[in-house]
Each structure stands twice: as structure tokens, then as C-alpha cells.
Structure 1
Amino acid sequence: MKRRTFLKGSASVLAASIGHSVHATASPRDIRASSGTAQIAPSDYPQTELWAYNGQVPGATLRFRQGDWLEARLINDLQEDTTIHWHGLRLPNDMDGVPGMTQEAVAPGASFDYRFQMRDAGTYWYHPHQNSVEQISRGLAGVIIVDEDEQSDVDGEETLVLQDWRMTEEAQIHPSFGNRHDMSHAGRLGNYVTVNGQPEVKGSYPEGARVRLRLVNTATAKILRIALQGWRAWVVALDGMPLGAPYEAETVEIGPAQRVDLIADVTAVEGDEALIASVERGGTFVLATYAVTKGSTTRPAPAPLPPNDMPLVELAPARTVPLVMEGGAMRGLPSGAVWKGEKMDARALAEAGQFWAFNAVAGMTDAPLVEAALGETIRIPMQNKTAFPHAMHLHGMHFREVMQDGSLGPWRDTLVIHGDQTREIVFVAENPGDWMFHCHMASHQMSGMMNWIRVKAT
């Protein structure tokens, strides 16, 4: 592994870095979205103009115990509408933060009060669901940690918030939001990666230390492959939900909006380094370096985390609703698609900024993809006929993947489906309301890949 340098004189500025997690003991009463500046590039570059929650990027980590209540007021000091979506949390529908569906957008100068209980322990995050490509890309994101009643036997914890920025040579956010190349290709891919908004951070742990690593991908398009060296690591939770059986991993893939929790033991020896790195086309680049000091603690493999209270999933009575993804560059929409109730050809769709379709329909529909009775089990096989990956996210509920052998995978709220892949999910419609179901590559969402699911209260 080698360190990445910040390349001058090119629009392809490359860097990767890490910062220590920012811990809050409780939710702040006010969460203020506003513009400002921060030093996210190396110190020989100017500060970057950003949008931030309470003046910091990423926003403060909001920390709770399972069963606590979040009470927060979003104050909008931006010059455009915004909301907060509490990603991955099972909460009441009117708290989900989707403008035009669960609440009105919060206008400049206005505010909105959120209040709900933390049902599930785990790692979650919060971000806007209004003009998501730009607002997240400019810095509006933060982490939520809900601690289990039983604390893990660890010596430390690192919350690593990964963001992929598209920067100019002057270390400013590139203003290319919503361009057609991003919408029709892989999304708004950046050229500068930070962890916790910092250009470089180092830490230290003793030999044998056990650390809980919470990885959160807040990028709008980039799929990250994270490698560990000098650690022995077990994946213990995905998208906040504990695994019944942790498994060892030297690398993990984490798509946009996904979270991965690891319990990792330092195996590097005194005087060496324990590294966390990003595996990319151009090589493997160090994100975090922890100097290793003298120590001797050794432990057995970690036990599973305490499970959350999740519904029983039975495949036999499930109703199947297929979803076919089409469009984008290289494949296109040769048969056209319906947009806003009108059948249109590919050229007309492109002129309207629509490049993708679910079941031959682009964008939001009047009728939901699924209308489910409360407690009904729904299976959705998702066939990706496009050339690009898509990170499908369900609001309000978690799902399990139906594996090829008929077994059920771990609970998740976001699943990456690569080009020409078919993957199937199943969920229990346990949470009444209208819920978004969309690609979390934000450029894809805005250009066709969004739909919704209705769970009837009675």
C-alpha cells in the first residue's frame, strides 16, 4: 500500500484521508443547514466553500441509546428548500423527510421539528432528500449511532465517514450538478476522498487492541472497496443491522449510503502500522494510519451483536412484484418509457433529463410500485439490464436478500446491484405509510430511478 498525494495542476485531484470520529452524547436541539467554509483540502490549498450542518463537515455524530427519543429542529439557512432524511431508521412516516411525500420541503428561513424513538441499535446517517445531488455533494451529511444495551468488548471506536468530492484545481466544489453525463453514466463521481472531512489523520493503538470500526459511505455515486492491513477484522453489522454470525474479511465493498460495522483486532506489531485503505483502479491508497505501540492483549473471535427486534420473514406467503431496470449510456431506452403519464422515445426522455426507467416508467408515478397490506410479505426480484451499478434503497423498513439457494441474507436497507445482475429482496410491510424506493446514486434518482411503496395502515 502507498500513500496518495494531492495532484496539482489537474482537474483530477486525488487524495484520501481520515479523521477521528466526532462523538455527541445527545442530539442537538437545533440542526442548522447553512453555507460556510472548511479546510478539507491540504493546508496549502484555500478553504472550500461548503454547505454544513451546524458549521461542520460532516455534521455532528448524534449518539443515543436504543429506546431514546430524537428531538431536533431543522433550521434552513440555505438559499433553497431542504429536509432531513434519517437514513436506515425505522420511524413514523411523517418523520422520514421526503418532500412532497411525507412532509413539505423546509423553505429558506423556515424550520421543521423531527421527533421519533430509536427502535434499532446500529450505525445510521442523516442527509437531505431535496436536491440531493447538490446538497449532499456540498457537505450536508452526518452520522447517527444508536448504542446497544450491551456494550461491545472493545478498546476503542472509530467512525469513518467517507465522502467523495468533485473538486476544482482551486479546491472548490465543482459546479457540475445534474449534468447529463453524470445522469446517464455512473453518477457524480468525484476526484478527492475525505474521511470525516479531513485531508489526513493519524492515530495509534497498542498491539492486540480491539476496535469497532463504523464505515459510512456518504458519496452520491462512488462504490468503495476498503482493505485492511495489520488488522484481523470481522463484519458484525450491515446497514446498522447485526449479523447472526460475524465473518472475517480483509476487504469490504460499501456502496453509496451503505454502512459496514467491523470488530477489528490490531495484528501489526509494535513499531509497525495498522492501515485502512481504498482499493481503486490506480492502486491501493492508504486512508488511515494507526501507529502500533507495545501491547499483548489477545481475544477470541467476537460474539454477534445483540439483534434488533425484526419481523419474521417467511417466503411461502410472499407476493412477488418484479422490478426491471433499464436505460443509461451504452444500453439506453430503445423502446422509450412513460414519463409523467406520457409514452416518450429516448430522445424526448433525454431532453427532459430522464435516462433510466423502472418497469418502463421514468420517475415518480401516481400509483406505487407496490401497495401492500400491513404485515404482508413482498418479494421484489430486481433485474439490472443497464451497464452500471445501482444502489437500491428502501425507506422505512429493512429487507433481506433471497439468495440463489433460497436462504435469506442479512438485513439491509441499501443493496448494490451491478450491471446485468439480478438480485431479489423480501420484506415485511410492517411500517404504514408511503415510502420511497429508489437508486441512491443521486444522479440516477433524479433522472428516472425512483418509485414508491405504499403500506396500508389497515
Structure 2
Amino acid sequence: MLMAALLLLGGCSESADNGQQPATSSPAPDTSMSAHSMNMDHSAHMGTTAVAPEGSITTKPADITTQQQILTGKEITLTARKAHLEIEKGKYLPVWTFNGSVPGPQIEVTQGDTVTVHLKNELDVPVSIHFHGVVLPVAMDGVPGVTQDAVQPGGTFTYTFKTLHAGTYWYHSHQDSLNQIGKGLYGTFIVKKKNAEPVETDRTLVLDEWNDPNTHAPDREANTAALSSNMGMYNIYTINGRSGSYIEPVRVQQGDRVRLRFVNAGNMTQLLYINHAAYRVVSTDGEDINRPQTLQRGLLRIAPGERYDVEFIAAEPGVQLIGAVGDSDFARSMRIPVVTETADTTLSDTQVNDQVNSQQNKLTTQMVAKWPELDLTRYGKAAPSQFNLQQSYDRDYRMTLNMGVSNGQTAYTINGQAYPKADNMTVKTGDTVKITMTNESVNEDHPMHLHGHIFQVLSKNGKPLSGSPLWKDTLNVRPGETYVVALKAANPGIWMFHCHELHHATMGMMIDLVYEDYVSTYKPDPGVNNISE
């Protein structure tokens, strides 16, 4: 996902709302920069150091990435360093890594554990780590200029926190995120329940996309998914850092219970088809779905920053395919073969690829477009929940998401304002908070991610949820959609709330959730280059 220049974004629609302010309940809070955020390094919050990416090479380099590790201890060391990723057979892309792999190590802990992660920086630029979706103390949030100084070359920083919630999470640099995540600085973070029902196969699948100037699509191809979202610079799609036939199949035994954990580390929303006769989506953003129904051959849309866990029983021997919707070579390269074998029958990689190609020729866009797409607002069974639309709230905010102009430049805006000149969202500890998010962009998703909290989704486009209670930390608001969400202000601090399509965040689509009863003791060092997004 190496970043090119941001010039492609200039073709997006202009904002139709340049002046709407947050709607707040009485008494109206002071949303200007408060004493609680005066210590923050606002001058360094915007922009990216991304430049035209280095291209892939075909000569085998000395510093090839290693296989992703699974680290299970309560004390972990992550080292940021350079390497080359063999993204396709014989094609090596220059990347930045944690511990020499892309994705970085999968950290596996148990709910309730106190975890210590030591970050060592062997790159020549500052870095940090943000644990995406994990509810932790604000000092451990990993946002340079807001909660800590970026870790300088040769420096270290230690993160310590207790894992309160079980689920699928990920970690990534939050220093110059567009650039650094784009170069591979991310990994997965799995918090397992105590006494959880075991599964025979538990795999994490990280979706991403990259820009390689030395990769050229056939003239007949158009990267339609990328172009439709103004992300036309991406030309390699990967699962766990590999593309096409180089993606490792998920091999299982007949009768196995299988859990697949999907994480979108890229900047594009990916629409996947799941060619399986019986599966359930059991969790999203680490939160369980109540009594999820069994689905058959359907579509799953995964936005940047989101996570979904899918479970099924491996019933029929053979290859069941999960892949990106689309007929281009780009889409066909993002595919996950689930290979069910028996004690007597196994399939070679060549046989698997032959079956994948055969299925992809049949699973055209025209065919899978008829399959039902999962709607989480109507999935699972209703149950008592913490919030509802009828109750009163201490704070009531509105966020209108669009494009606009800030300081004479194109920007992505919230209520017509671009960060850091955007109004804060202020709360006090114990407040109940309702937030209405509307996407007025013509053709762009806005996956909105709130640090340090989870929130309950109450309605979509004016209709209350009819399925399971739905809790998220990253909510994809598609063009024309309106969501109402609610949360309890129970984690004092200064927390970022931003679009996880990181081009949008870099160009202004973020605000701070500021606790009025919190005073930060962190004082940014003006001599370091803090770039918090």
C-alpha cells in the first residue's frame, strides 16, 4: 500500500455543507481548544512524508522478510526495521516491518492479561504503535503529539495495558500513518476469551493494497474498484502480504471448526464473496454478534480498520473460495482458497490453483452480484442492550462528513471544518453521548474510527437496528448514509476520532474527543517531528 502523491484526490466532489456546527444538548459545551488540549502538538498533526514509492525489484535481496511469528507471552518486543517483501514469486517490494515481517507478528494474549510491548526503532524516521480497537489508558494510545512523542531512530518506548475485551484487533504506527502503514508497519493483536470453545483452525487474514510503479496491468484491465474510490494508484492486492497464487491457502481437515479473522489494513473498502454453503459472521471489531444466523454464499464488505470473524464447519472436501468481487486481474489476485482435506486425500498447490482459476472463471461479478450482502443492522437476534433511541443523553453531537476547502486547499471535513481547526467533541466522565454521522460525499466511504472506546450502533438511515446489539470502534458510513451511535464516556483522555481511509484523515477528516475533567501531563517535545496522522 505504498503511497503515491495525493493528487488523485482532487477529483472528488466538493462539500455542500461548509458551516454546520456540532449539534449539542444544553448546556452547550465549549468546543474550542481547551486547557485540556493546549499541550497537544497541533502544529504537527497534519500532512504526510509519503513520496513516490520505490519500485519492486526482481533480483533477490539480502534483507527478505521472514515468516510472520505468533507471539504468546505477556511481554513482547517489536522492532521496526527495513526489509524486502516477496509479494509475488520473484517480485520484491521494499517495506518497513515489525520484527522483519509484513504483517508484523501476531500477538496472542488472554482476556484480562496485562501486556507489555517494547517498541525499538531501527528505522531512520520516528515511529509509534497504536493498538487499534483496544480500550486502554490514553497514555498508551500511541498518537504522537497527543499522547507521546514519536519514538526517534535508535529510541524505545514501552506500552503497558490490561486487555479488557476479547476479540480481533490490530496494531500499527500512528506516526505519519498514511505513509508508515502504507509501507507495512502493522500487525495483528488477538485477545482470546478465558475458557473459550476451541476451534481446530484459527487464521487471521489481513487485506491490503500496494502501489508498485514497476507493476503494470494489461491494457485491457481497469482497476475499477480503485478508480471508483479515487484510489487508482493501487495495483497490487494482498492477503497477509502475498498476492495471487502466492497467497497461502487455508488448509483444514474435514469436520474441523474453522474461524477466519479478517482485518482490513488498507485504504480501500473491499467487497468479498464467500463461496461457502454454511457460515456465520460471529464477531465484528472484537465484539460478538448475538445468535448469528447461518449464511450461504454471500458478500461481506470490509472497510479500512474494520475486523470481521467468520466461522464454519469444513464439511465438503475440496476448495471453497473467498475472493474480491470483480473480474479484473487486480480483484482476482485477492483470493483465499479454503482447502478441506481428509486423511486419504490432499491437494497440491498446483491442484489448488487449478481449482481456484476454474472457480474464478465461474464466479464473475455478474454472478456474485446477485448474492446477498451482509447487513449487520439486521443480522443476529435482538437482545437487551445499554442504549436506545428513546432515552435522553448528556451530549448530542452531529458529524457531517464531506469534502470542502480549508486554507484555500481541498480538504476532507467534519461539519465543514478540517483538523486541526475543527471543533472538539467534549464530554465529562460518566456522560452518555449520542452521535449522528452522515456521509454527504458523492462516492467515497468514510470508515470512522474512535480511539479508546467502543460505541453502540442504534439506527441506520432512520431505522432502528432489528438484529443483534451492534458494537463497533470503526463504522463505515457509505455515501448518503446516516448512523446514530451512542457511548458511555468512561475512559478519560484526549482521543482521536477520524476517518480510517487515511488520505481523508491526512487531509482533515478528524476531530478530538476531549474529556473536560482530564488534564494531560504529557508535554510534546517541539524538537521532534510528531505527525499524529
Normalised-by-shorter TM-score class: 0.7 to 0.9
Match of 2:409 among 342, 349, 353: 349
CA distance in 2, matches of 1:382, 1:42: 43
Instruction: Tell me the CA shift for residue 63 of structure 1.
Output: 0.5
Instruction: Tell me the CA shift for residue 441 of structure 1.
Output: 0.5
Q: Per the alignment, in what secondary structure is the counterpart of residue 248 of structure 1?
A: coil
Q: Deviations over 1:330-357 (max 9, x none)?
A: xxx3xx4xx5xxxx4xxx223xxxx211
Asked if 1 retains the 8 angstrom alpha-carbon contact of 2:401 and 2:415, the reply is yes
Matches within 5 A, 1:300-449: 312-315=386-389, 316-318=391-393, 319-327=395-403, 333=404, 336=405, 339=406, 344=407, 348-350=408-410, 355-365=411-421, 367-368=423-424, 370-387=425-442, 388-403=444-459, 404-407=462-465, 409-449=469-509
Instruction: Tell me the CA shift for residue 367 of structure 1.
Output: 4.8
- Letter aligned with residue 320 of structure 1: D
CA distance in 2, matches of 1:372, 1:201: 46
Instruction: Tell me the CA shift for residue 393 of structure 1.
Output: 0.4
Sequence identity percentage:
31
Higher helix proportion, which one? 2
RMSD: 2.8
Q: Per the alignment, in what secondary structure is the counterpart of residue 503 of structure 2?
A: helix
CA distance in 2, matches of 1:166, 1:291: 30
Q: Per the alignment, in what secondary structure is the counterpart of residue 234 of structure 2?
A: coil
Matches within 5 A, 1:34-433: 34-43=81-90, 45=91, 47-169=92-214, 186-187=230-231, 190-198=234-242, 199-219=246-266, 221-249=267-295, 250-268=298-316, 270=317, 272-280=318-326, 282=328, 285=332, 287-294=335-342, 312-315=386-389, 316-318=391-393, 319-327=395-403, 333=404, 336=405, 339=406, 344=407, 348-350=408-410, 355-365=411-421, 367-368=423-424, 370-387=425-442, 388-403=444-459, 404-407=462-465, 409-433=469-493
Q: Per the alignment, in what secondary structure is the counterpart of residue 445 of structure 1?
A: helix
Q: Deviations over 1:102-144 (max 9, x none)?
A: 1111122211110001111000000011111110111111000
CA distance in 1, matches of 2:472, 2:233: 24
Match of 1:452 among 500, 508, 512: 512
Asked if 2 retains the 8 angstrom alpha-carbon contact of 1:236 and 1:247, the reply is no
Asked if 1 retains the 8 angstrom alpha-carbon contact of 2:229 and 2:268, the reply is no
CA distance in 1, matches of 2:212, 2:234: 7
CA distance in 2, matches of 1:27, 1:141: 19
Q: Which runs of 4+ in 1 moved over 6 A?
A: none
Asked if 1 retains the 8 angstrom alpha-carbon contact of 2:75 and 2:115, the reply is no
- Letter aligned with residue 503 of structure 2: S
CA distance in 1, matches of 2:74, 2:124: 25
Of 145-154 and 257-266, deviating more is 145-154
Matches within 5 A, 1:1-20: none
CA distance in 2, matches of 1:34, 1:448: 29
Where do 5+ consecutive residues of structure 1 fail to align? 1-10, 12-18, 172-181, 296-309, 328-332
Instruction: Tell me the CA shift for residue 21 of structure 1.
Output: 7.4
Higher strand proportion, which one? 1
CA distance in 1, matches of 2:510, 2:158: 26
Asked if 2 retains the 8 angstrom alpha-carbon contact of 1:20 and 1:201, the reply is no
- Letter aligned with residue 103 of structure 1: Q
TM-score using structure 1 length: 0.79
Asked if 2 retains the 8 angstrom alpha-carbon contact of 1:187 and 1:444, the reply is no
Q: Deviations over 1:382-434 (max 9, x none)?
A: 12111211110000000111213334841000011111222222111111111
Asked if 1 retains the 8 angstrom alpha-carbon contact of 2:388 and 2:458, the reply is no
